[in-house]
């Protein structure tokens, strides 16, 4: 499903043909490789931008029709030209200078594209504001190529949603097998980067929405420590758990993006070392009832960690009964409070000013907004009693205790470990408009999401032809630890496999 508003936005950008994009190399190209092309004058930022636009036109709109890009920035080529002029004058801002990136469409950008969160209710949300992270990327010299599709309202509207679908952008398809989910809610960012529609992208996560699409699309994704990246001017769910995060095809590219989005106050990329795991105790979480093929892939990943010098130690997940209910009340309560506060700041063209009005809008436009699933989570959230509700405060305290002190921190302490590893998710499941998401296997996302701790996923190969990821989790503020460990693993495993855009999975297990 494609909405007329989206078509109008896309027509605002002159999309070059593949021939006019020249012979610059963007497919599977790292940020360093793109920068090397520009430094050697084999390509310009304009040429790279044209090449990505041509690839989007050929593969996102046509061909496999991934539907991963919801809107293109009509100013992208002008930005690229200005950055090329700076380069000719001897000014290069850093490793992202002239590099095209994509931004998830719940993050504000000061251009002519709306920030819709995938909803028709926000079709007029052209704010003329940059989120702080976008402003930081611009200062670093990045070209903002456009906005990525997502699970509508960041996958918080319904308890029976189909990940990757939005009324504005349609259904995002997984580039490894087009009948499979790209996972939510940063599904467009995941599919677009996997398909080389940009060098990298920014996603957002409340619980799993960076690491799941990264895992099932064969990417590196970092859910950073809460607050490390400024989360202002992003359509919210929960101030206790929402965070932007980088999504890329390598740990170094993710680290470069993290450096830029934190305003240059950190140097995560410079600290990466292939020897980062030497002598490091690593707690290994082995979920129960792992499918044999995923278990075999996980065992192989542990062998790689051991070869990199790590000391794997088995850990057992503690009893965290009550965490799910506590997290749900926190998310419902904060969704109403935070979304009402955000909607009050939107332009007059946005007529839905509260969550209750969004619910009414969806009912009035049910044929477009609710053809597959409803809005049970919204309807529960609108009934909550606010941030001063004692039940909400107790639930938040319970969440932090169970996920943090009694969860991640307790496992680390018991194992004497610096970090934990686990399978991120199972392989991508079929996109199902009738029954919604049918998760295949375990999830490592909830504890670090609720605690606000860093969580990195790195490709560990294919299962039944579909990517799966290895999670690295550490305590609050240990983002450099998970990035370093992920990099050391990646440099030995070389486990990422480029997508082949198959109509459906072939069902075999590969390296």
The residues annotated with a catalytic role in the active site are 104, 185, 209
What is the rounded distance in angstroms from the CA atom of residue 215 to the CA atom of residue 427? 8
CA-CA-CA-CA dihedral for 296, 308, 218, 20, to nearest 10: -140
Cis peptide leading into 185, omega within 30 of 0? yes
Tokens coding 64: 């496999």
Cβ atoms within 10 Å of 348's Cβ, excluding its own? 7
- Spatial separation of the C-alpha atoms in residues 80 and 260, rounded to whole Å: 18
Which positions ≥6 away from 165 have C-beta within 8 Å? 151, 152, 171, 172, 372, 431, 433
With tokens 């410079």, the residue in question is: 270
- Give the residue from 107, 104, 227, 169 showing the smallest Cα distance to 368: 169
Mark out the alpha helices in 4-101 (DSSP H runs).
Answer: 4-11, 31-39, 45-59, 76-88
**Exposed, middle or buried: residue 108 (CB in 10 Å: 0-12, 13-18, 19+)?**
buried
Burial class (CB in 10 A: 0-12, 13-18, 19+), 15: middle
């Amino acid at each position: 499903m494609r909405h007329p508003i989206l078509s109008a936005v896309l027509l605002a950008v002159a999309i070059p043909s593949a021939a006019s994009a020249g012979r610059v190399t963007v497919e599977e190209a790292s940020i360093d490789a793109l920068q090397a092309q520009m430094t050697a004058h084999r390509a310009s930022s304009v040429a790279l931008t044209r090449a990505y636009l041509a690839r989007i036109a050929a593969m996102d709109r046509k061909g496999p029709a991934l539907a991963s890009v919801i809107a293109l920035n009509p100013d992208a080529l002008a930005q690229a030209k200005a950055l090329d002029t700076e380069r000719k004058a001897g000014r290069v801002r850093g490793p992202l200078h002239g590099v095209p990136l994509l931004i998830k469409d719940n993050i504000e950008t000061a251009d002519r594209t709306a920030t819709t969160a995938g909803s028709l209710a926000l079709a007029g949300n052209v704010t003329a504001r940059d989120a702080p992270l976008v402003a930081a990327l611009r200062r670093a010299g990045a070209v903002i190529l456009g906005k990525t599709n997502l699970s509508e309202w960041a996958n918080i509207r319904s308890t029976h949603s189909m990940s990757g679908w939005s009324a504005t952008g349609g259904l995002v398809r997984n580039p490894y097998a087009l009948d499979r989910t790209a996972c939510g809610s940063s599904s467009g960012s995941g599919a677009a980067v996997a398909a080389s529609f940009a060098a990298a992208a920014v996603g957002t996560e409340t619980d799993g929405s960076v690491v799941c699409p990264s895992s099932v699309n064969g990417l590196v994704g970092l859910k950073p420590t809460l607050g490390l990246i400024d989360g202002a001017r992003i359509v919210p769910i929960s101030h206790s758990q929402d965070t932007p995060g980088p999504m890329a095809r390598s740990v170094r590219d993710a680290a470069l993006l993290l450096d830029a989005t934190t305003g240059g106050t950190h140097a995560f990329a410079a600290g990466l070392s292939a020897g980062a795991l030497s002598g490091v105790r690593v707690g290994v979480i082995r979920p129960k009832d792992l499918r044999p093929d995923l278990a075999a892939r996980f065992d192989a990943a542990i062998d790689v960690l051991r070869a990199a010098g790590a000391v794997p130690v088995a850990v057992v997940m503690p009893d965290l009964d009550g965490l799910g209910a506590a997290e749900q009340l926190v998310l419902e309560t904060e969704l109403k409070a935070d979304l009402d506060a955000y909607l009050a700041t939107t332009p007059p063209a946005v007529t839905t000013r509260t969550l209750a009005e969004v619910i009414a809008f969806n009912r009035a436009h049910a044929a477009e907004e609710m053809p597959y699933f409803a809005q049970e989570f919204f309807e529960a959230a609108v009934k909550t009693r606010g941030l001063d509700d004692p039940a909400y405060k107790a639930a938040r305290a319970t969440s932090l205790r169970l996920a943090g002190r009694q969860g991640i921190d307790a496992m680390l302490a018991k194992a004497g470990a610096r970090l934990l590893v686990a399978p991120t998710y199972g392989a991508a499941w079929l996109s199902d408009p009738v029954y919604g998401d049918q998760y295949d296997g375990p999830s490592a996302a909830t504890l670090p999401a609720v605690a606000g701790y860093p969580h990195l996923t790195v490709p560990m190969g294919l299962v039944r032809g579909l990517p799966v990821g290895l999670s690295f989790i550490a305590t609050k503020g240990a983002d450099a630890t998970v990035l370093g460990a992920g990099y050391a693993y990646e440099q030995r495993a070389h486990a990422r496999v480029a997508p082949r855009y198959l109509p459906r999975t072939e069902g075999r297990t590969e390296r």
